[in-house]
Structures are given as C-alpha cells and as structure tokens.
Chains A and B, each alone.
Chain A
Amino acid sequence: MAKDQDKILSEVTQSEYKYGFVTDIENDVIPKGLSEDVVRLISKKKEEPGWMLDFRLKAYRYWLGLKMPEWAHLKIPKIDFQDVIYYAAPKQKADLESLDEVDPQLLETFDKLGIPLEEQKRLSGVAVDAVMDSVSVKTTFQDNLADLGIVFCSFSQAVREHPDLVKKYMGSVVPYRDNYFAALNSAVFSDGSFCYIPKGVRCPMELSTYFRINAANTGQFERTLLIADDDSYVSYLEGCTAPQRDENQLHAAIVEIVAMKNAEVKYSTVQNWYPGDKEGKGGIFNFVTKRGLCMGDHSKISWTQVETGSAITWKYPSCILRGNSSVGEFFSVAVTNNYQQADTGTKMIHIGKNTKSIIVSKGISAGKSQNSYRGLVKVSKNAESARNFSQCDSLLLGDQCGAHTFPYLEVDNSTAIVEHEATTSKIGEDQIFYCNQRGIDTENAIGLIVNGYTKEVLNKLPMEFAVEAQKLLQITLEGSVG
C-alpha cells in the first residue's frame, strides 16, 4: 500500500499546468526597464491627471531607496527589475459597448478558463471586470450596478470619473511607503478594479475580476480599491491564471479595502498562476500586499483565499480592526507542489474595542515545495476585550517538502484573549487503510481526506468559486484527488 501511495504521490508531482496557453492578441508594449521616464510614460499612456503622476513619482523615488526584503522563508532568485516590461495593453480601438465587440480570441481565452463572460453574464449573474495584461478590457453589468449607485469599473476609469474617491482612499490602507513591492506597485501600477458601494446598499451580485498575465515578460501590477460605505455589503471575487511561460514573471499587486460603519466586505481569491514546471523552471513571482481597514464600528472584512499557483507566493491579506466591535476573518488554503514556495498568512491588528478576528489556515505541501504560514495578531493597548482565534494546520505529502509556521502574537491589553494552535502531520496510514477497507482506493481516499481537510475554508467561498477552487485543488494535486 505504501508503494501505491508513493506512486500516487509521484503522479501528483508530475501533473502539468492545465491553463498553459498563450492567447495571441496584439499587445501595446513599452520597452523593458524601469526609470522615471517609464513611470511618466505609463502615466501618459493612461492619460492620468498630474496628481496621479506625482503619486507615482513619489513612490518610485521612495522605492529606489529600498532593498528587497529577505525575511520571508523563501529562496527568491535575484530579480532584475530592469528586465521587466512594465506596461502591456491589448490594442483596442474604442470603448466597447457590448460583449459582441470584445475580441473573439479574448473571449476564447475566458472560455478555456471555464468562465466565459457570456455564460457568467447569463447564468450566474456575476459582473466580471476582466483584466487582461494590465488594462481592463470589459466591464460587465455596469449599468445594472449603476442603478443602485454602485461604482464598479477599472481603476483608470475611476481616476478619470471619480478622482475625489480615488484621491481620498488610494494609499490610505496601503501607503506607498508600506513595503518594497507596495512602493513598486504604486509607481508603475497599470490598472485594476475600483469599487464603491454607497450607503445602505447591499450589492445584489458577486463582483468578480479575472486577472490573467498573458504577454511574455510583463509584470502585472494591478491595484484594487474597494470602498464599502455605511451599512453596505459586497462580496468580491478575484481569480487569476497565467499561461505557461519559461521565464519568471513578476506580479506585485495591491488590494485596499475600506469598510465603514456596519459595512461588510467579503473578498475571495482563487490564485492559479503558472507555478513553474516539474524542475522548478519558470513560474510567476507573486508579491501581493492586501489589506483591509475596518474603519467604522461593527464593520467586517473577510478574506478567503485558495492559493494553488505561482512559483513564489508572498502574500498576507490583513485586517486593521479600527472600528469598535469590528470583525476580521482570514480563511486560507495554500497548496504547493514541485518547487513552489509559499509564504503566506495574515495580520490582524486589533485597535478598536471588542474587536474579533479568526484565522483558519490550511497548508498542503507536496513534491519539493516549501509552504509557510506567517501571521501576526496584535492587540494594541486600547483594544479592550479583543478576541482572536487562530488555527494553522499543515499537511505534508511526500518526504521532500516542508511546512512551517511563524505566528507572532503581540498582546498589549490584559482583557484580550488570544489563542493560536497549529498542527503538522501527514495523511495517516490508518485513515487510508480505513478507506481502502471500505472499497475506496488510495487515490480516492487521499482525495477524500484532502477535501475534508480543506472543507472548512472552501465552505466560505461563494458557490461558483467553491466549485472552481475544488477543481484547482484537483489539478494541483492531480493523481491523488479523485
């Protein structure tokens, strides 16, 4: 039986990336390299106002003085920031009015991804803001949302049409001085999504963006800003895939969320970028800064993520619980295989009174991968009666991989209750034996166990996403999940 398991595990490590294809769409690219001129050029191409350029330049100059962070449990090959194209936009004639005008090849890409715009528009009622290589191609359902006063558009459109909101909130949660990659993103970000939910509005549908890195050697630097005004609710979905490329592609994104009084934001991510091949060649470098600010009382921000892709993942979706009785949640499944490396987790900063946070992190490592959870729970002095519970479990498939846990608990208030627990184990032979005994073969048994193991997190995903997330788990651990 042990042999079977080995065989299955080795099959797992041999599964190929299913979404590896390149869509041949004409790109408008600028030459490689990063300089003040490039920053100006990007800003010019995007026809941005002066204040936006100033912001970019400030960030760029600050970035120049920074050094690449080394604290993560990752082996990051030296990145040549001059060898990256910082802007690549699919050539398009004018703004598109309907789906018919969208490039058919582009639509085909989405078909391959299993999320055809048509389908989604018709069946699931999801408004999709599809971002393909840095420029938002098509934003659907905008009119329906506009009736409710919801603004859901590309970031560049927001800069043009809602400069006040952008000016007020951009950089308020993740300032450009936050970290190395936040500074880089602030300098060169190409596009992203912008969302504003007005007071008292409950967004009737799941808002969704699909990011996809397409052109070779382009770093994608998108930026998302989500503002939920008083008493509003929104559920936001973000999914990512990238075609198969040999060279590492750089991705440094920023997501900022602001939740006002009584507002609730649910942010779900499925990340399935190209993880590199079996020898660890290629793959996406994913350095993301995601942070939500619970500004008002009784606000709630919930992060759910399924991380199956990228050669390197560096990502810590965090919550700053400033409002009294605000709630932060973080649910994560991170799967690494072959030579993938993931250092992911969260930060829960309790500032307001009676704030609560929960962290559930499930790591699965296979092949020769390294999977780390890194989290901070900080209870500041005035956060009376703060409550946190963290649970981090790791599952190891194979004897070459690693699973690590780096939790930080900083408690400055005596009324706080902070708990952390973590376990690391492999799938028990007794569990597999039990399944075998009942006629379930080893492959299905592993599938069953992994499924059960991640259920707690997958349950938090919106329906449409949960199905896809399960599919992704299957692909990543193919051969073991039935």
Chain B
Amino acid sequence: MDVATENKKISTELSDWYFSSRDRLMASSSSLINAYRPEAMEVFRELGIPDQKQENYKYTNIGKSFLMPFRKYIEPKKILFSVEDLFHCDIPDLDTEVVLLVNGWYYENQNQLQTLDNGMIIGSMAVAAQKYPDLVKEHYGKYVDFRTDGLLALNTAFAQDGTFIYVPKNAGSNQAVQIVNLLLSPEDLFVQHRNLVIVEEGAQAVVVVCDHTLSGNKFLTNAVTEVFVGANAHVEFYKVQNEHNDSQQVATTHFHQERDSHVNFNTVTLHGGLIRNNVYAKLNGKGADNNTLGLFLADQNQHVDSYTFIDHAVADCTSNQNYKGILDDKATGVFAGKILVRQEAQRTTAYQTNNNICLTDEARMKTKPILEIYADDVKCSHGATVGQLDENALFYMQSRGISCRESRLLLMYAFGHEILKKVTISPLRDRLDDLVEKRLRGELSRCNSCSLHCQ
C-alpha cells in the first residue's frame, strides 16, 4: 500500500470514529469547544494526515505512527490505583504547583479547578470551559490555525480536556506551574489533549511541562497548547520530554504575543521514539520579544523533528532561536525553522541558530533554516551547522590527562549546556544538567520514580 492510500485509510478511520462518537463528544464538552468541531473535521477530511510531500513534514513520516492499532477513547478510562503512588516528581527543591494529566485527561483525584491567592486559576480545560465560558471563548482556538495542518484540525475536532491556566492582570509569581503529562495504560493508546494558557497584561507565569510514560505500551500523542501573552506579560515555558522510545508525540505550542511581552520557551528532549515539536510564535505587538530554545539528545532509532515558525507581524520585535542536537546510533534529527518578517515589521531583529553533532555514521541530521523577509529595515540572520566534536579541543584535554571518553563527554555536555543555562529555575536547571550528563554517559536517566517496564 502506498503512502497516499495509507494516509487516506487513516483519515477515513479517524473521521468514521468522529461521526460514530460525535454525540458523546458533543455531550461531554462545552458548546464553545464543540463549536469548532464540525469545521475542523471538515478540514481534516480535506487535509488528512500530513505526508512527506508536504514541505513542513518532508523529513518525518508521521502517517506511519498512525498506522498502529491504537485504542482511542471518548471517555477517560478509570485508573484503578492512585497515580500519586506511582509518580512523584523527583526534582529536589522544586517548588511548583503540580497538576497531573493522565492519558490526556485532567487527573480526577485533584481539584478540578482551583483559584490561588493571587487570582490564578489552574484546572481542567473541560471544567474551565463550563465554568468560565467568556474567558475561554475569547482565547480558545483563536491562535492556532487548524486550516494549515491536518493534525491541528484533528486535535481541534476531538479536543476534550487538558490543562487550563489563567493568570489575571498584573498577577503571577515566580512559583512555577508544573504540568505532568503521564501516559499509563495496559493497552496501546492514542491520546490528544488541548491546553490553554492565558497570561494577561503585566502578568507573569512560569510553566514546566514534563512528559512521562509509566507503562511500556505504545503511545501516540497529538497535543496542542495555545498560550496568550498579554501586553508586558512575561512567560517562561519549559518542556521536558522524557517518554520511552515506543512512544510517539506531536506537540504543538502556539504563542500569541502582545506589545512588550516576553516569552522564553525551552524544549529539552531526552527520550521518546518519534517526536515532532511544532512551535509557532506570533509577535503581534510592538516590542514583543521571543526566545525559543531547544536541545535534543537522540540515540537508538529515535527521530526528533523540531519545527519553528516565528511570525513577525508588526514592527520593532525581536526573536531569537537556538536549537541544538546530539545524535548517536541510528538517530535522525530534523530542524526546520522559519522566520517570517511581514512588510509592516520594520526594525525587526531576528536570529536563528541550529547546531548539531553527529556521533556515528548512521546518525542523520536534516536542517532547513528559512528566512522569509518582506521588510527592508531588518537585521536577520541564521546559521546552521552539522559536524563533530572539535579534534583540537579533544587533543588539548587529552594532553592534560583527561581521558578521551571523558573529554568527549565534557565537550558534549558543554555543547548542551548553552541551552540549559538559559533555564532560570535553578532546581530544574540542575536537574536537567544532571539528566543530560547521565544521558550522555549512557546511564538510565529517567526520573527515579518512573516505574519503567520497558527497555
């Protein structure tokens, strides 16, 4: 069966599933989420699962992931034991407000919607849509354009639950909200969740998202997160991907930035079979500033694909992207970054860097840094490199008595540290440093509590 027929088959299966479970879907969700479904399904039927003929998915065969017989659910499956017993975050001294998502559903044994002292609201997307319809309606589905990508349309058509965070005007604190995405199931599972983060004018938010797998089954996740960053707001967003290598994930994060807002987005990918990270940032107000960083370490047959699209829609914005990757064994890496500077976006400063190290002959890296510029008063540059460790540096260290292995580790660690040092939460940074170092040493570097049944 060729790819086109395969993808057609998958799309038909998924749309059949949609129509057969439409009533239950509609009944389970708020009308404002339901309002998007018909059109999104229509778009999905038209676009289907993206194939490699599409420029944005040129190097990733995502259809193959959908071919596996995953179970899909409209209602969350009961988990018979307490997730807290299985999982607790082991980052020492990390003071966070932890919320759990289990298989894409807001974990039932926690407060479904809580309001903190400073006015922050944290809770389930599904519940928030019922309880604060006006707030959700203003932002939900307004930033991600599902007409551009079949997978976004698929997520929008099936969106039910996820995390909802609201930070009111001028509120917020340094205390991070930690969203832990847990995958735990006795059968192979297809998971979709939809998250919404609203940070209003002058507010501040720190979000840490951790992805974990607690059972050895195959998982496929298609997640979408929309982040609204109001004027003068400041958002730090960290994503730590540490799933097992039988899991596959497509994660889309969309930032919509207003005037003078700041976003630091940092993705650290340690484990996971096939990972596709889409990052969209629309700089929609003057003076907005976006820093998008990423580090991935891939080995065995891992495939990590990072796609970024920074849209400079107005003048005087700055953006900076820095992605780094270390590839070992037969791993493949992809970076496709795009900076779009629209005609009105004069005095834009936009940078993009992608550095990669291939450690073996079988490791492969494809990189595609794109600039699309329609304004003249801009400073834009991009750079991409694929290479190996510097032999002179290795020699230097060895001549001073550091073993070859150790000097290689040191160099790789230093290479990755450039991304990690930008993490402002020090316990998280230390932990990530530690994880990366262990990972480079080839030790099992999962969070200690992860009761891994695989490998």
Which residues between 361 and 405 of chain B lie within 8 Å of chain A, taking CB atoms? 361, 363-388
In whole angstroms, how far apart are the Cα atoms of A414 and B372 in the complex? Answer: 30
Contacts of A406 in B (CB 8 A): 368, 370
- Which of A398, A408, A411, A421 is B358 in contact with, Cβ under 8 Å? A411
Binds B, one of A266-274, A307-315, A422-430: A422-430
Which residues between 83 and 136 of chain A lie within 8 Å of chain B, taking CB atoms? none
Interchain CB contact under 8 A, B388 and A415: yes
**A397 and B376 contact, Cβ closer than 8 Å, known pairs A420-B383, A420-B384, A422-B381:** yes
Smallest Cβ-Cβ distance to A413: which chain B residue: B361
Contacts of B322 in A (CB 8 A): none
Smallest Cβ-Cβ distance to A376: which chain B residue: B368
Contacts of B360 in A (CB 8 A): 414
Number of chain A residues whose Cβ lies closer than 8 Å to a Cβ of chain B = 36
Nearest CB of chain B from residue A38's CB, rounded to whole Å = 32
- Which of B365, B375, B382 is A411 in contact with, Cβ under 8 Å? B365
**A422 and B366 contact, Cβ closer than 8 Å, known pairs A397-B376, A414-B388, A415-B388:** no
B343 interface residue, CB < 8 Å from A? yes
Interchain CB contact under 8 A, B376 and A396: yes
Contacts of A418 in B (CB 8 A): 384-387
In whole angstroms, how far apart are the Cα atoms of A381 and B344 in the complex? Answer: 44
Query: Which secondary structure characterizes the binding site on chain A?
Result: strand
Smallest Cβ-Cβ distance to A371: which chain B residue: B373
Interchain CB contact under 8 A, A424 and B384: no
B55 interface residue, CB < 8 Å from A? yes
Interchain CB contact under 8 A, B381 and A399: no
B319 interface residue, CB < 8 Å from A? no
Interchain CB contact under 8 A, A409 and B366: yes
A475 interface residue, CB < 8 Å from B? no
B346 interface residue, CB < 8 Å from A? yes
- Which of A398, A411, A413, A416 is B376 in contact with, Cβ under 8 Å? A398
Interchain CB contact under 8 A, A426 and B367: no
In whole angstroms, how far apart are the Cα atoms of A14 and B9 in the complex? Answer: 56
Interchain CB contact under 8 A, A422 and B383: yes
- Which of B356, B382, B386 is A422 in contact with, Cβ under 8 Å? B382
Smallest Cβ-Cβ distance to A388: which chain B residue: B386
In whole angstroms, how far apart are the Cα atoms of A40 and B44 in the complex? Answer: 47
Interchain CB contact under 8 A, A405 and B387: no
Most chain B beta carbons < 10 A, residue from A379, A408, A411, A423? A411
Interchain CB contact under 8 A, A425 and B380: yes
Interchain CB contact under 8 A, A396 and B369: no
Contacts of A422 in B (CB 8 A): 369, 371, 381-383
Contacts of B365 in A (CB 8 A): 409-411
Contacts of B83 in A (CB 8 A): none
- Which of A400, A402, A420, A423 is B385 in contact with, Cβ under 8 Å? A420
In whole angstroms, how far apart are the Cα atoms of A405 and B371 in the complex? Answer: 5
Most chain B beta carbons < 10 A, residue from A381, A401, A404, A417? A404
Contacts of B4 in A (CB 8 A): none
Smallest Cβ-Cβ distance to A379: which chain B residue: B386
Which residues between 65 and 83 of chain B lie within 8 Å of chain A, taking CB atoms? none
Contacts of B386 in A (CB 8 A): 379, 409, 411, 416-418
B359 interface residue, CB < 8 Å from A? yes
A419 interface residue, CB < 8 Å from B? yes
- Which of A381, A397, A408 is B366 in contact with, Cβ under 8 Å? A408
In whole angstroms, how far apart are the Cα atoms of A401 and B363 in the complex? Answer: 40
Contacts of A416 in B (CB 8 A): 358, 386-387
In whole angstroms, how far apart are the Cα atoms of A404 and B378 in the complex? Answer: 13
A407 interface residue, CB < 8 Å from B? yes
In whole angstroms, how far apart are the Cα atoms of A400 and B346 in the complex? Answer: 11
A36 interface residue, CB < 8 Å from B? no
- Which of A71, A417, A420, A424 is B378 in contact with, Cβ under 8 Å? A424
Interchain CB contact under 8 A, B361 and A396: no
- Which of A381, A398, A401 is B361 in contact with, Cβ under 8 Å? A381
Interchain CB contact under 8 A, A407 and B384: yes
Contacts of B379 in A (CB 8 A): 423-425
**A396 and B55 contact, Cβ closer than 8 Å, known pairs A411-B364, A418-B386:** no
Interchain CB contact under 8 A, B369 and A407: yes
- Which of A397, A405, A415 is B370 in contact with, Cβ under 8 Å? A405
Contacts of B371 in A (CB 8 A): 394, 403-405, 422, 424
A11 interface residue, CB < 8 Å from B? no
Smallest Cβ-Cβ distance to B365: which chain A residue: A411
Interchain CB contact under 8 A, B388 and A407: no
**A414 and B373 contact, Cβ closer than 8 Å, known pairs A399-B343, A409-B366:** no
Contacts of A398 in B (CB 8 A): 376
In whole angstroms, how far apart are the Cα atoms of A416 and B374 in the complex? Answer: 34
Interchain CB contact under 8 A, A426 and B377: yes
A412 interface residue, CB < 8 Å from B? yes
- Which of A401, A409, A424 is B380 in contact with, Cβ under 8 Å? A424
Nearest CB of chain A from residue B172's CB, rounded to whole Å = 36
**A396 and B378 contact, Cβ closer than 8 Å, known pairs A402-B372, A408-B366:** yes
- Which of B368, B372, B378 is A409 in contact with, Cβ under 8 Å? B368
Contacts of A417 in B (CB 8 A): 385-388
In whole angstroms, how far apart are the Cα atoms of A410 and B368 in the complex? Answer: 8
Contacts of B380 in A (CB 8 A): 423-425
Most chain B beta carbons < 10 A, residue from A408, A420, A423, A424? A424
Contacts of B364 in A (CB 8 A): 410-412
Smallest Cβ-Cβ distance to B369: which chain A residue: A407
Smallest Cβ-Cβ distance to B335: which chain A residue: A409
Contacts of B358 in A (CB 8 A): 411, 413-414, 416
Contacts of A413 in B (CB 8 A): 358, 361
In whole angstroms, how far apart are the Cα atoms of A133 and B384 in the complex? Answer: 43
Interchain CB contact under 8 A, A420 and B369: yes
- A368-404: CB near B (< 8 Å → 1, else 0) gives 0000000000010100000000000010111111111
In whole angstroms, how far apart are the Cα atoms of A418 and B383 in the complex? Answer: 11
Contacts of B385 in A (CB 8 A): 417-420
In whole angstroms, how far apart are the Cα atoms of A403 and B360 in the complex? Answer: 36
Nearest CB of chain A from residue B305's CB, rounded to whole Å = 13
Nearest CB of chain A from residue B28's CB, rounded to whole Å = 41
Contacts of A404 in B (CB 8 A): 370-373
Interchain CB contact under 8 A, A421 and B359: no
Contacts of B375 in A (CB 8 A): 396, 399
Interchain CB contact under 8 A, B373 and A419: no
In whole angstroms, how far apart are the Cα atoms of A381 and B364 in the complex? Answer: 9
Question: B residues bordering A, Cβ < 8 Å?
Answer: 55, 343, 346, 356, 358-361, 363-388
Of all A-B residue pairs in the complex, the 3 with the closest CB atoms, nearest first, are A396-B376, A414-B358, A411-B386
16 further interface pairs, Cβ-Cβ under 8 Å (given A404-B372, A416-B358, A423-B380): A396-B375, A396-B378, A399-B346, A405-B382, A409-B365, A409-B368, A410-B364, A411-B367, A413-B361, A417-B385, A420-B382, A420-B385, A422-B381, A423-B381, A424-B371, A426-B376
Cβ contacts A to B, 19 pairs, < 8 Å: A379-B386, A399-B343, A399-B377, A401-B374, A405-B369, A406-B368, A407-B370, A408-B367, A409-B366, A411-B358, A413-B358, A413-B361, A414-B358, A414-B361, A414-B388, A416-B386, A417-B385, A420-B369, A424-B379
